[in-house]
Amino acid sequence: MPDPYVLPGTAILKNKFNLTTQQDLDDAEADFASLRLRELAQNPIEGDYGVRHYLAFHRYIFQDLYDWAGEPRKMNIVKEEPALGGLSVEYTDYTDIRKRLAQVLGAMRKRSWENYDLDKLTKYFSHDLAALWKIHAFREGNTRTTIHFCCQFADEHGFPIDRQLFEENSHYVRTALVAYNAVFSDIGDKSQKQYLEMIIRDGIENGK
């Protein structure tokens, strides 16, 4: 089926500025999303870290660009990943997004974060962040939304994380998330969790 999120005959997302080249859209997204992320770092979005709270993060970050900001995607997606030899992570079916978000966020909120040492913080935070990212709830903007939502969660649960480390290594972080979630229905578990866990551990240590 045609992708309802893109301009007809292109791969460019429909946007509020009616930009028709990928470079122009990338530049606008970088400018506006970066501004909103700086605002979020100074003025957190209050909430219970449930589904509505997560959706509110995406809405805030991408409000200037997309009419569908904060809305779960309405189609299934694949993204060919060089790190996976052209395969795509198996993202959540769009009909199950809200249910899966509730499951992952519910488990995340129930953990006894205050009782964990660095090893357990690293393990469980990496697991929950990767599980939330794997849902890929939105047509675009999943990595930034997930990272900053989870960083605010960590701040409020007593183990602040160095956001700058993630921002300066954004390509590494996304590739690490891909590697963590390389589990396939046909060829099995090919995941490599150590890359994400390394930067999460460093982020926690730097955030102290």
Domain that holds residue 179: 22-207
- Could you give the CA distance from residue 111 to residue 93 in angstroms, rounded to a whole number? 26
Confidence (pLDDT) at 2 = 84
Q: What is the pTM of this model?
A: 0.96
Q: Is residue 2 part of a domain?
A: no
Residue 191 sits at φ, ψ, to 5 deg, of -70, 150
Q: How confident is the model at residue 187 (pLDDT cuts 50, 70, 90)?
A: very high
The pair phi, psi for residue 160, each rounded to 5°, is -55, 145
- Residues contacting 172, CB < 8 A, separation 6+: 195, 199
Is 15 part of a structural domain of the chain? no
- When divided into structural domains, the chain yields a total of 1
3-59 residue pLDDT tens: 999 999 999 999 999 999 999 999 999 999 999 999 999 999 999 999 999 999 999
137: exposed, middle or buried (Cβ count in 10 Å: 0-12, 13-18, 19+): buried
The Cα 107–Cα 89 span in angstroms is 22
CATH of the domain at 113: 1.10.3290.10
